[in-house]
Structure 1
Amino acid sequence: MKPKYIVLISALFIAGTANAQSVLKGTVYELGKNTRMPNVFIRDDNNKKQITITDDKGNFEISTQTGHTLIFDSPGYVSDTLYITSLAPKRIEMTTKLISLRQVNITSTRQSFDAHKEYPEVYTKSKVYPLSPSSWFSKDARDARRLKKYFKREEEERHVDEVFNAAYVQTLVPLRGQELENFMTLYRPTYAFLKNNNGESLTVYINDSYKKFMALPADKRSLPSLPNTGKTLQ
């Protein structure tokens, strides 16, 4: 085979590989601020194996391609989507979740999700081996450990959703509708509290919290609505 054909074939192979492994870079901020957001979970909705998490400065990079959709998730923020129309660097802004997921439907819970089954490679890469420096210091290993922590937080929040649910709270306090939503948002217990207390303690906590809630001025018992930014990410 003539050298020029070898060079041409090699060039086409490299170009094809580069296209298949295109990397999108960007930074995630809190909406309306220059506050960068670390530990935001990002996944390619068209390729479940492509996931990442923002670093301490809110920066990310993920293998993807145009026509795909990225999903951005972070506890306490509204999930956002990005439809890829170009691989130019992106600025992503996430909206604070002023009210929990029950804002839309107070009886709803987080969608069932088992990170161990869906992303087993994360748990494999997060392991640290004494004789393997890359398991300590490589970017993949560091990202995997951050993802593992993110999945753990999500699992804890789902547990809180299951225990501190509207049906149960309504049996203890005479609140309904928006007032119930506001109360459950303001006095949502932590996972640590639920883990270290029994059902009787939770009942006492809810009753005490209700008294505190009713003692607040009316304007303090109402939460502001989420801003309607009308923004479209691309």
Structure 2
Amino acid sequence: MKLKPFCIPATLLLFMAFNVSAQQGFVLKGVVMERGTTNRITSGEVVNKRTEGSVNTNDLGLFQIKVNMGDTLFVFKNEFANAEVVVQSSKDLIIYLNRSTDLREVNIYGESKKQELDGMRQEYRNKGSFYAGKPPLLSYLFSPLTAIYELFGRTPRNARHFGKFYSNELQQTEIDGFFNESIIKKHTDLKDKDLENFMLNYRPDYSVASKWTEYDAIKYIRDSYKKYTDTLRKK
């Protein structure tokens, strides 16, 4: 008895070929543009969320990144809203970003805060505290009276305390740029008391946030949000 040759349907062959090519990966080319304009966005960052590999757009807004079919690309650039795009084709990709007013407000707040602190620091200088209560060693040789005043005077003592406050406020303002109510609301469904508790309990340290990109901040917020909701469920 002769066995009939086994035939694989053409549709199954196509599916298998597609599945293999999707797993192999390829280099995707694309461009990032500002929505509603012909402006190309330079120095934007494009991240493959699966591999965490990233590239920057060049002077023409172009990028190339290795992906698999179905990967999600996370795209961000200062002063623009973030975007996520799922790779569904090997064709060149156009990604549009909207201008963000939220980030601009945070930056303006940071600039005005620094100007306010700089003005207060200048007041101490106007009152005669030149070294903020920390005179350099050479001042004891060339201007000993000033050095002694800087060590024991009331204004220099206050200036010394203000110097610590100044540094801390600038650090906290930098953290606010990544971890603020507007960004957290955009990437979670927290509000009211839950939002306050989350911001209080999961505020990052400056040593961590100072090394962040915007992608790192959003990843931290989402990971922390999962921990927060898991904790609420256990309670």
The reply to whether TM is greater than 0.5 is no
Higher relative contact order at CA 8 Å, sep ≥6: structure 1 or structure 2? Answer: 1
More helix by share: 2
* Higher radius of gyration, 1 or 2: 2
Normalised TM-score (structure 2): 0.41
